Amino acid sequence: MYCTRKITEGVTWIGGSDRRLALFENLFPIPRGVAYNSYLILDEATAVIDTVDSSISRQFFENISHTLNGRKLDYLIVNHMEPDHCANIDELLLRYPDMKIVGNAKTFTMISQFYGLDLEGRTVTVKEGDSLSLGKHRLSFYFAPMVHWPEVMVAYEETEKILFSADAFGSFGALNGNIFNDELDFDKDWLDDARRYYGNIVGKYGPQVQTALKKLSGLDIAVICPLHGPVWRCDLGYLLEKYDLWSRYEAEEKTVAILYASMYGDTENAANILAAKLAEAGVKSIALHDVSSTHVSDLIGEVFRCSHLVLAAPTYNNGIYPAMLNFLHDCKALNLQNRTIGLIENGTWGPVAGKQMKELLDGLKGMNVLEPVVTLKSALSDASLEQLDNLAGALAASLAE
Ligand code: FEO
């Protein structure tokens, strides 16, 4: 049975949610599920904006059929060719033989690569700034390459001022009936997942997001319809400001996240004591995460949130403890920048984790590593406790700047 919601009189949400999938992209845990949004415009012509993941195909086709109510489908707009949004193109072509696919040159190359479909006579290729009239509604297309694939474009409907934004402004999390941002508590229930989605999926492409934001800044936007997560119909400045911060690699909060690895509890002990010292110095909302039991995508989310990080790790195989090394490699892959960092290393003999963590951080832009690097020989001693005290002082002073 259909399950739809009206965005406006002429635009209907025809997406759905998957609460069974454990790992998005077979990589990122999504305990709150994920929504795949799709939209249908009814006018003199009809158009679907992107399809959905194959996991919710049945719901999608029931939604289309109900919304069309016997009418034919004229266009499928393909803003993004990742399979969580394009898995139903071939079936739509079969069900709606008059339907044409609207995309750009890269879109059609990817359709061919994924599906090898014969699209003779069924394509409309658009370039930057081209428009498509559906009657009262008129869609204009703007390219947003690498947000987060190269073929990505967004569609702006000028009559109702709706931006169909592809992956941009999306979030992990299933939609539970409330699909609009004013129907839910975004700060409490969604912001962490939206940040984690941005950081891990789009985070590498900050400069491209900045380019897209500048391009869109000239549009009068009343509603943002992303492919995942809530639809935004008020308070757009809040969301745009988050994207501006994240894509400039600026922290949302002036606070400390302590990310530690600990084999037998001694490095964890140092992390706890540092947190207490920071709290006594007046630092609030300190985060403390065990990198062995916290998924790296959550750690990346914390990097996007916090201005200061402390990385604490044992030396392992004459290198950095694997879970911490994995996190640092992810930071490099995602092009993370502009954080102030404290380091704690541990090693019963030959501690090298601190030096090697610093070398990796030196390869990232704008990472300011504070002195001293705290060295534990197996466990905290009077000498290393004094170093820890000095590191707490350096962090507190930096936070106060
Ligand atoms: Fe939700 Fe880049 O796909």
**pLDDT tens digits along 266-287:** 999 999 999 999 999 999 999 9
Q: Name the H helices within 203-265.
A: 206-216, 236-247
38 Cβ inside 6 Å of ligand 1: no
pLDDT, position 234 = 98
84 Cβ inside 6 Å of ligand 1: yes
CA torsion 237→234→299→368, rounded to 10°?
A: 10
Between the CA of 398 and the centroid of ligand 1 the distance, in Å, is: 37
How far is Cα 45 from Cα 26, in angstroms, rounded to an integer?
37
236-247 vs 206-216: helix crossing angle, rounded to 10 = 140
Q: Answer yes or no: are the C-beta atoms of 361 and 339 closer than 8 Å.
A: no
Q: What does the block give as tokens for 31?
A: 């305990």
Q: Is pTM beyond 0.75 here?
A: yes
pLDDT, position 232 = 98
Q: Going by CA atoms, what residue is nearest to atom 3 of ligand 1?
A: 82
Q: Name the H helices within 262-374.
A: 266-280, 296-305, 322-333, 353-362
The Cβ of residue 71 has, within 10 Å, a number of other Cβ atoms equal to 11
CA 175 to chain centre: 16
Q: What does the block give as tokens for 108?
A: 């059609």
Low-confidence ranges of the chain (pLDDT < 70): none
Q: What does the block give as tokens for 192?
A: 């962490």
* Ligand 1 atom index nearest CA of 148: 2
pLDDT, position 374 = 98
Q: Answer yes or no: are the C-beta atoms of 10 and 34 closer than 8 Å.
A: no
Residue pLDDT, tens place only, 237-257: 999 999 999 999 999 999 999
53 Cβ inside 6 Å of ligand 1: no
* Ligand 1 atom index nearest CA of 228: 1
pLDDT, position 385 = 98
β 131-133/138-143 pair status: antiparallel
